[in-house]
Homo-oligomer: A and B are copies of this chain.
């Protein structure tokens, strides 16, 4: 089904939409939680054997058309000398947050050296999947990843931008350098598609987005030859359209029909509210069919509007994938 996936990415008409779920390898699966009794999150993502197993867990259950590598957008903080840990109930916490302009001036080491395990993971997945499913790599967008190196997250990132606009630009430049290298590495390692999660870029005013987000998107999508997908929460579709990504991944706050009118032939991905997977199985099918129907039969990859939520009922993930596979056009 890799070919089905790639045809949708090219905007072609497909007999059914290819389907995968953001964060499909993860916290809603019992076999995942068992693995997590043995390994910390960072151990798990940096051990190719474990990460491969976790990436394939949802594939073995539901056979989606794409398998996303089990990893984290924060791996790109490491080559810039930040260390981070995942705090339960809080999320990622960086140990030495950026506070002063000097903290933003960063040299990066060899990207491939530090996070070479991602290359091995992609090679394994690609070899395992062959033509049966697309191997999906991903990276965090510079603004989004940078927002985690401030104590205070996106709010503090925006305050720092106001206080030190030049240093903020230098920090994002450094993240963009690492991310470009990282995306090339993923391409070389066998990723069929690479998704850029600039999840929080929509928190910026449009002027700031034009200055601190859009130029990096253009550069990053230009740097690789494999097809690319851009995901932004609460997006400005005009600004997403200028990114050069092949596919725009829409969150659930976007009306799919209106987005189609606005975006023309641009392939789209999405966009069911992940919370909808907590409804009845019938409601999951109905709402999923609605998304498929509104997206039309060309250039649509079915997905959620953001990652699968913790404790999502497994049977509803199954129903979501099954609906894509059995929908009648």
Contact = CB atoms under 8 A, between A and B. Distances in A.
A278 B206 contact: no
A283 interface: yes
Contact of A278 (B162, B258, B276): B162
A78 interface: no
A253 B236 contact: yes
Contacts of A276: 162
Interface centre among A158, A203, A275, A283, by most chain B C-beta atoms within 10 angstroms, is A275
Total identical chains? 2
A279 B202 contact: no
A238 to B, nearest CB: 8
A163 interface: yes
Contact of A204 (B208, B253, B278, B279): B253
A203 B279 contact: no
Interface in A108-149: none
A273 B203 CA distance: 10
Contacts of A205: 252-253, 273, 305
A241 interface: no
A158 to B, nearest CB: 4
A158 B234 contact: no
A161 interface: yes
A252 B236 CA distance: 12
A277 interface: yes
Nearest to A273: B205
Interface of A is mostly: helix
A218 interface: no
A202 B253 CA distance: 7
A167 interface: no
Contacts of A204: 253
A237 to B, nearest CB: 12
A309 interface: yes
Nearest to A210: B255
A270 to B, nearest CB: 11
A255 B206 contact: yes
Interface in A206-239: 206, 208, 234, 236
A49 interface: no
Contact of A275 (B159, B202, B279, B283): B159
Interface of A: 155, 158-159, 161-163, 165, 202-206, 208, 234, 236, 252-255, 258, 273, 275-279, 283, 305, 309
9 contacts: A159-B309, A162-B275, A162-B278, A162-B279, A163-B278, A163-B279, A165-B279, A236-B253, A236-B255
User: Which 3 A/B pairs are nearest by Cβ-Cβ distance?
Assistant: A158-B275, A162-B279, A234-B234
